[in-house]
Amino acid sequence: MARPGAACPPPARRVMVAARALLFWALVYSYCGVCACIAGLRLLWSIGRRPGETFRWVVRENPPACLNDPSLGTAVHGTPACPADSGLRFHYVAAGERGKPLMLLLHGFPEFWYSWRHQLREFKSEYRVVALDLRGYGETDAPPHKENYKLDCLIADIKDILESLGYNKCVLIGHDWGGMIAWLVAICYPEMVTKLIVVNFPHPSVFTEYILRHPSQLIKSGYYFFFQMPWFPEFMFTLNDFKVLKSLFTSQATGIGRKGCRLTAEDIEAYLYVFSQPGALTGPINHYRTIFSCLPLQHHEVIMPTLLLWGERDAFMEVEMAEITRIYVKNHFRLTILSEASHWLQQDQPDIVNKLIWTFLKEETKRKRE
């Protein structure tokens, strides 16, 4: 219904808007069908080759020792005194003294707080570093309905968590899907973010515009479309005892490529422990199931100092989007592209990433004083 006094759009424009919306959703569901067919063929191929192994799924009963490493900090599960306003109880690992400036870390998919282990150790000397399990991940509560994973809910989570931790601002760092959330928090609640650091995810407006104009990125983002299906994506992840999950981090095409930084067997077990639990994949995949109804954005600009780090060998995000992101940051913007680095940048080249973050943080402190 139009607001009183507002001019109604002409019929031709209404038809054009409706036609564009129809075309958009036709594209979404058509590509969803294509991705589903490809996944189905892979399933049949796996059954034909190794029928006994295809449906093997081992639930890990006990966490590996690395998840209880005291050097990473203290694990906290939201107590009744400090849940988010949503009523959800969030799990996080915190390192560094209370009262120090807050550094909040948001992981991507399919990850959890442990993907920030190198940063928890590194920055606890000067920050209260908190690595969160996002809504639906790990030990954080997982609402059952996909509507509970809309971007508005995810943004509000970060605001609520910040307040429950006793802070009103932070250095916000996000990787992959966590990078998407970090951008949106910076746009919607700029007063809460002193500095923004994003790893391997462009400004959301860049992503939505670029993907529609570049078929190569559309193909790389095929999992966004595949994840629109109910239950089947979760099922595909469990095949061959989570072979897809292992491959994402270890294969030559998508995994961590530097020999010295490849995930150890214990690291892999940490991921398998979290995602092998019954129902553990539905919450993470639900993050993607509402994305097409939430974008594009109405507001775009980021007004705080921003660092964007990018692994050039990212198998999921084309590096051209990194440079385009510059136009949406109305403050100091630094972009560093690391050659021979994968999508899992903070795990792939942790020493370099940590050094670049330190440089950015100290550079901005010096700039502010001047």
What distances in angstroms separate CA 114 from CA 96, 110, 139, 160, one per listed residue?
16, 11, 12, 22
What distances in angstroms separate CA 329 from CA 183, 208, 286, 317, 336, one per listed residue?
10, 17, 29, 19, 15
Q: Which residues contact 125 (CB under 8 A, 6 or more apart)?
A: 96
Say how many Å lie between the first and final Cα of the chain, rounded: 52
CA 141 remoteness from chain centre: 17
β-strands 193-199, 306-311: how paired?
A: parallel
Measured distance CA(322)–CA(217) in Å, rounded: 13
Of 114, 224, 343, 348, the active-site residue reads 343
Token pair for 120: 């928890």
DSSP 8-state code for residue 125:
T
Measured distance CA(94)–CA(72) in Å, rounded: 8
- Starting at the earlier edge strand, list the strands of the sheet with 128-132: 74-77, 91-95, 128-132, 102-106, 170-175, 193-199, 306-311, 333-338
Active-site residue 332, yes or no?
Answer: no
Of 133, 157, 176, 314, the active-site residue reads 176
Rounded to 5 degrees, φ, ψ at 170 are: -160, 165
DSSP 8-state code for residue 1:
-
Q: From the CA atom positions of the chain, what is the Rg in Å?
A: 21
Of 92, 224, 288, 328, the active-site residue reads 288
Active-site residue 288, yes or no?
Answer: yes
Active-site residue 343, yes or no?
Answer: yes
Residues serving a catalytic function are 176, 288, 343
